[in-house]
Structure 1
Amino acid sequence: MTMKVAVITDSGSDIYTQNVHLEGLFRVPFQVIDGDKVYLDGETITIDQTYRLIYDGRNLTTSLPPIGMVDELFENLKAQGYDMIFAVVIASALSSTLSALAASAQRQDLLFDFVDCHAIMINELHLAISARKLFDKGFSVEEVKRRCNKSIKDSMTFVIPKDLKQLQKSGRITPMAAALGGFLNLKPLLKISVETGGKVDAFEKVRTMGKAFEIMVQYFKDQNVDKDCLITVAHVWDAQTGRQLMDIMKENFPQTEIIFTDLVSVIGCHTGLGAVGAQYIRRVELD
């Protein structure tokens, strides 16, 4: 008898903003924390409202989806006849969401499997949607993982904070490093990929956004990004700079679908306003 598999992703995939609804694809929100107030990312607070709080000087933090909400969802899925949870969530190096989902599935006596996307945002969402479509076509868990992992290995996410202040506030870098970076007017070009184990790591340090854009474009070209890939350009309350990067990507990759969106809150809360980013992934083979 064929297993009934539920695919789970989180708000770090931008699924709320993209308004994706597929039968058998479920989502859980990260928590956005403002002092003693706790919001559910995408449900009780939008990305735009989150960045408004940052603009107003609030020191926001983020946390994994509420355990009680996950338990309730999995209990309902079991009641609906699902046998397995297949998780496609934010990189495990960035959050303990994956382990929390696994523990919840165990409590509900549900089978559990996953792919570690080593990514965020639309790359993560593309993998979740593709997994759902592959299961609907009758592919095995092993084959779904193989195809997703093949695409994960051919992907990259770049993020460029406007400055280092918010990274210092969130504890991602030391005060001395932030001060030195500001003094030298350096912008860190950060990367998230299989190579970094899904962690945020420095790719290069540059003095201008223009130079960072050149480096990203060249990297994408070196990886032979083409019509079989998907590119995302994102920003944190800086649509003008985001559009500049979008135009550059369109000019250099005219055959590739490019999505323009807000950078998800779980990253933007740490990079701060003015950050921009770009990512690509080679599409999952669905046939």
Structure 2
Amino acid sequence: MFRGFERERIATDAAADPFGVAILTGPMPAPPKDAVSQLATVVSSRPCGSDAVVLRLAPERPFEPLRASRFFMLRREDGTAPLIPRPYSVYRQGGGASSSTGEAPWVEFLIKVMGRGSRALEAAPIGSQLRLIGPLGNGWPVLDGDGAPWVMLAGGVGSAPFPMAIEQALRGMDGGAAVASRDLHFLFGARDRGLLYDLELFERLGVNVHTATVDGSHGMQGHVLQLLDALQAAGSIPKQIRVLACGPDPMLEAVHARAIEEEWDCWLSLETLMGCGVGICNGCPVPTREGGALAGWPNAKCCVEGPVFAARDIELVGH
């Protein structure tokens, strides 16, 4: 488990810790060793779905291949408010040594336009510069082809950490066996068809893609877990599975409860609000689960121990 820094819990009683948050001592948290703060140029911006864009950025200094579900803190560099950077999962990475056309290195981010911060990023002119801090966090575990099939559950913009995860799984990660396309299922749920971001991209990746929308405008009508139930009932997906999930809190809470009940090997990439992204502000606590790998602490930090957590290690209800 990636830690980033060591810390010691020194107060546990209610008098010393009235808000239920342990007092921590030790060195200040440090970002991952490969994290840097640099400028990146906006190369392109394309509409995606009904309310999002995909920003392609060319960093001043290229990154080594990134593990899917790591994230960066992004902000405009021209003084446009808000000045506090926002966390975004890496959507895709390319160019550089991996390019057969000599294309310059780039990274992409899926930006759902919701508030001032995302609107400022969406409006960044081509050729302008953004501040890019990262890569941060731990990313998905190694997806290997030895064992039960992998099921990826995405809700809306929670699809962002999955294109690279699928590509890495099909290639083989860290020397592990590649996952056969027949053993990789991508289940994409959203409120309506316009929120199934870049659906055609996932279909081109050559894995099993299944969709559900609440209004029935694409795929099965219902939620992503109902889609999984239907596919398992039809025999398209076996009962024994390994699960990755990312999406809104209600979806992740439901997936977490099912994972505990059915004892899935399950990892969740949380969409938790973050202030700093490097563990200093304590603004992204995630309650730990008794008996889990993080149980020595009352809360983990999503930006340091996460954003990916094994379901067995955390509590999600009302977090």
Q: TM-score, normalised by structure 1?
A: 0.35
Q: TM-score, normalised by structure 2?
A: 0.33
